[in-house]
């Protein structure tokens, strides 16, 4: 098997190294982007690049902002309970 | 004659759903929504591949992670072939990467289910002469 094929196959057999830190939360961004793109693809009747990108960005931003607000509320609740 | 037309309509809906499951976006391609099909295919395939890359193919686990597997298999029946391979082998899955891999691949499957339902709905509405919003 050529070296490049071996490298590609090996990268799908061994998990990546991802530490449990605040930066690991950034892995939610590609997921939110995918959800926004697919959801909008099922909602719009005609896909036109500029309009579609605008709608996806608005939905992506809405989801991220809502999640940040939820995280802040939960953090405040945890702080109130533990203090 | 009307009965036959109704049967062919139901058969068409089944084909749309089945093709949408075989290949993400395939259902939209069958009903002529090529751009929708391309966007859906690229996004779901990318989400699935990134999930496998991050967590390893061991995240497809039909033996000890059945609820996740049920969501993952909605990506495509090809996932069952992967599950067959991983059920025999010992592939490392652990910690945060395993968690992210499972979430990515499962959300990909659930998004594909949304697309299948949407494609079947659009096919039904167009077949019966209604207007989808």
Report the residue from B39, B50, B96 with minimal CB separation from A41: B39
**pLDDT score, position A13:** 82
DSSP letter at B23?
S
User: What tokens does B75 get?
Assistant: 């990506």
CA B11 to chain centre: 19
Could you read off the pLDDT of B10-25 as tens digits, one per residue? 999 999 999 999 999 9
Mind listing the pLDDT tens digit for each residue in A30-63? 999 999 999 999 999 999 999 999 999 999 999 9
| Sign of the torsion angle spanned by Cα atoms B75, B113, B20, A30 | negative
Range of the domain at A77: 17-82
Do residues B57 and B98 make contact, with C-beta atoms less than 8 angstroms apart? no
Any idea which of A8-12, B52-56, B79-83 has the lowest mean pLDDT? A8-12
* B43: in domain: yes
User: Complex ipTM above 0.95?
Assistant: no
Q: What is the pLDDT of residue A16?
A: 81
Average pLDDT, chain B: 90
Q: What is the DSSP string of chain A?
A: --HHHHHHHHHTTS-----SSGGGGGGHHHHHHHHHHHHHHHH-SS--HHHHHHHHHHHHHHHHHHHHHHHHHHHHHHHHHH-
Per-residue pLDDT, averaged over B78-96, amounts to: 84
More confident residue, B3 or B101: B101
Residue B19 located in a structural domain = yes
Are the C-beta atoms of residues B89 and B18 closer than 8 Å to each other? no
How many Å apart are CA B78 and CA B84, to the nearest integer? 10
Q: Which of A12, A19, A37 sits opposite B53 (nearest CB)?
A: A12
Number of structural domains (chain A) is 1
Average pLDDT over residues A17-32: 89
Pairwise CB contact (< 8 Å): B97 & A47 = no
| Total residue count of chain B as it appears in this document | 133
Taking an 8 Å cut-off on Cβ atoms, the answer to whether B54 and A35 are in contact is: no
Mean pLDDT of B36-59: 94
Q: Tell if the CB–CB gap between B95 and A37 is shorter than 8 Å.
A: no
Q: Residue B9 — pLDDT band, cuts 50, 70, 90?
A: very high
CB contact under 8 A, B36 and A42: yes
Chain B residue numbers with beta carbons less than 8 Å from the beta carbon of A35 are: 107, 111
Chain B residue closest in CA terms to A27? B100
The answer on pLDDT for A2 being more than 80 is no
The residues near B124 (Cβ < 8 Å, ≥ 6 apart) are B9, B13
Kindly state the average pLDDT of the residues A2-23: 80
Please give the structure tokens belonging to residue B10.
């139901």
Domain assignment of residue B55, yes or no = yes
At residue B86, the pLDDT reads: 85
Q: Which range marks the domain in which residue B26 is found?
A: 14-125
Mutate to test the interface with A, among B39, B82, B131 (most CBs of A within 10 A): B39
How close is the nearest chain B Cα to the Cα of A77, in Å? 25
H or E stretch covering B99? helix B95-127
Substitution target in B97, B106, B109 with the highest count of A β-carbons within 10 Å is: B97
Domain count, chain B: 1
What pLDDT is attached to residue B130?
67
- Cα separation, B112 vs B45, in Å, equals 10
Residue A6 contacts residue B85 (beta carbons within 8 Å) = no
B74 part of a folded domain: yes
- CA nearest to B30, candidates B47, B43, B14: B14
Residue B9 within any structural domain of the chain: no
The pLDDT assigned to B1 comes to: 53
Query: Does some domain include residue B59?
Result: yes
User: Over pLDDT 90: what percentage of chain A?
Assistant: 67
Mean pLDDT of B108-130: 92
Let me know if residue A24 belongs to a domain: yes
pLDDT (average), residues A65-76: 96
User: Is residue A1 assigned to a domain?
Assistant: no
């Amino acid at each position: 098997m050529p070296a490049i094929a071996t490298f590609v196959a090996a990268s799908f057999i061994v998990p990546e190294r991802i530490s449990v830190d605040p930066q690991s939360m950034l892995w939610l961004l590609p997921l939110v982007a995918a959800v926004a793109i697919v959801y909008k693809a099922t909602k719009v009747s005609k896909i036109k690049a500029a309009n579609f990108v605008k709608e996806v960005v608005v939905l992506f931003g809405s989801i991220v902002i809502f999640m940040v607000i939820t995280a802040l509320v939960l953090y405040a609740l945890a702080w109130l309970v533990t203090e | 004659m009307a009965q036959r037309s109704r049967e062919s309509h139901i058969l068409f809906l089944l084909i749309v759903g089945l093709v949408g499951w075989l290949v993400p976006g395939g259902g939209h391609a069958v009903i002529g929504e090529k751009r929708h099909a391309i966007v859906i295919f690229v996004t779901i395939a990318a989400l699935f591949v990134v999930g496998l890359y991050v967590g390893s193919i061991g995240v497809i686990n039909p033996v000890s992670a059945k609820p996740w597997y049920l969501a993952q298999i909605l990506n495509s029946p090809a996932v069952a072939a992967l599950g067959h391979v991983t059920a025999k082998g010992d592939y490392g899955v652990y910690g945060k990467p395993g968690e992210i891999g499972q979430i990515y691949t499962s959300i990909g499957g659930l998004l594909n289910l949304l697309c299948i339902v949407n494609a079947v709905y659009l096919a039904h509405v167009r077949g019966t002469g209604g207007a989808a919003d």
